[in-house]
Amino acid sequence: MSPDALPWILDRQETPIGTLLVVTDSALRLRAIDWQDRIDRLHRLFRRQYPRTVHLVQGRSPTATREALSAYFAGHVESIDTLAIATGGTTFQRRVWSALRAIPAGRTVSYQALAAAIGHPRAVRAVGAANGANPIGIVVPCHRVVGTDGSLTGYGGGLDRKRWLLSHEGVAATP
């Protein structure tokens, strides 16, 4: 069976800020992380990013994934840095998501700086759209992107969670 073969495993993991949905494929790579109260967003992202229907089967994530996420929420924020991921999306979106993984915990970048970092300094809105379409929140840290003035702007899990994640990583977020 190909690593991209569907169905994928859907696990739930409790965190200090809600129930996390964790989706992995048959090759044990993360395909999605989102929040239980945002499950409709998760399904919408899958429909947009994958040509075949994604079938989610209840199960347990790989032990290494569960442990890394638990360690992250326990304060070891670098524990998620090496988790294997796989995404759909466009070539541009995948470039943005790759650049997001290069933002270290405890740091933020603006959409403008992120656009410049991927070689498209005028594509700020496209970078914002790609950031919003990120299916693997936290591990692909879209929450580390802020407005040019440092203000918190959109996050698929809600601004309260974004603020918590940044604070958890040692960033004093501007309201």
Give how far Cα 122 sits from Cα of 89, 91, 149, Å.
Answer: 21, 17, 17
Residue 89, number of CB atoms within 10 A of its CB: 18
Whether residue 142 lies in the annotated active site: yes
Write down the pLDDT at residue 51: 75
Q: Is 86 inside a domain boundary?
A: no
Q: Is 25 inside a domain boundary?
A: yes
Write down the pLDDT at residue 5: 56
Q: What is the CATH number of the domain that holds 141?
A: 1.10.10.10
Question: What angle, 0 to 180 degrees and rounded to 10, lies between the N-to-C axes of helices 124-132 and 91-101?
Answer: 80
d(CA 141, CA 81): 10
Q: Is 118 inside a domain boundary?
A: yes
Which of 56, 80, 104 is the last residue before a domain boundary?
80
Set 142, 152, 166, 171: catalytic member: 142
68 in the same domain as 109: no
The backbone region for 170, taken as left when phi is positive above 0, alpha when psi lies in -120 to 50, beta otherwise, is left
DSSP state of 53: P
152 in the same domain as 117: yes
Total of domains in the chain: 2
Q: Is 174 inside a domain boundary?
A: no
96 in the same domain as 157: yes
Domain carrying residue 126: 91-168
144 in the same domain as 97: yes
Element spanning 19, H or E: strand 18-24
Tell me the sheet residues that pair with 146.
110
Q: Is 110 inside a domain boundary?
A: yes
12 in the same domain as 73: yes
Q: If the chain, 175 residues long, is cut into consecutive pieces of 10 residues, what is the mean pLDDT of each piece?
A: 68 96 94 93 86 85 96 96 93 96 94 95 94 94 90 84 93 70
101 in the same domain as 66: no
135 in the same domain as 75: no
Say what the pTM is. 0.90
